[in-house]
Chains A and B, each alone.
Chain A
């Protein structure tokens, strides 16, 4: 069965610094996709970045990059130059094969301090 593990319940970072949020996954499928979402207190899940299992290069989207290490089954999110508005819950999720189902981790609460 698919499983996503986020071991950091909470993280703190100073404004303008970089932060890494950890995510490890478990799957027996060869084809899968990895996602990161941001959830502010308002509740909406905001898509940040996607990495396919066959993508050879790490995905990047503006200040977000995904450090994909397939052999270690890890897909860490790196946020560069943190901003106060980055304070939120961050969820790592996996979609396996042709299924549309997303499996989420328990999330990491990021707090950016001024």
Chain B
């Protein structure tokens, strides 16, 4: 077990709604990254937070946004949900550029 926890584990939302996913990083880790994994694909990088600042972003639209809190936990927010947003969302924490440890993921279904 990595110590990275994500909530909720499963979620069903309607197209057009907004969703917030949460991640508690492993103790001592100051960097959190979020990934989207569509069915049958490898994870795709959404963005990364280091000490509460976004310091890297993948090819995702602005309706994907995030926060990192002083305790290094993090949130991923997605507005105006689309059917294609249905995926497994993974959070990874690390100490700067050290090994990244992943949580169990949140399975989001948009109907």
Interface string of A17-49 (1 = CB under 8 A from B): 000000000000000000101000011111100
A interface residues, tally (CB under 8 Å): 23
Residue of B nearest to A37 (CB): B102
B90, A45: Cβ atoms closer than 8 Å: yes
Partner of A101, one of B40, B58, B96, B101: B58
Give the A-B contact count at a CB cut-off of 8 A.
Answer: 66
A95, B33: Cβ atoms closer than 8 Å: no
B103, A44: Cβ atoms closer than 8 Å: yes
> Which residues of B does A touch, CB under 8 Å?
2, 31, 33, 35, 40-45, 48, 50, 55-56, 58, 88, 90, 92, 94, 96-97, 99-105, 107
Closest 8 CB pairs of A and B: A104-B42, A45-B102, A43-B105, A44-B104, A101-B45, A100-B48, A104-B43, A106-B42
A35-B99, A43-B90, A47-B101 known; 18 new pairs, CB 8 Å cut-off, are: A43-B104, A44-B102, A44-B103, A45-B102, A45-B105, A46-B2, A47-B100, A50-B99, A100-B55, A100-B56, A100-B97, A100-B100, A101-B33, A101-B56, A101-B58, A102-B43, A104-B35, A105-B42
> Which residues of A does B touch, CB under 8 Å?
4, 35, 37, 42-47, 50, 91, 93, 95, 98-107
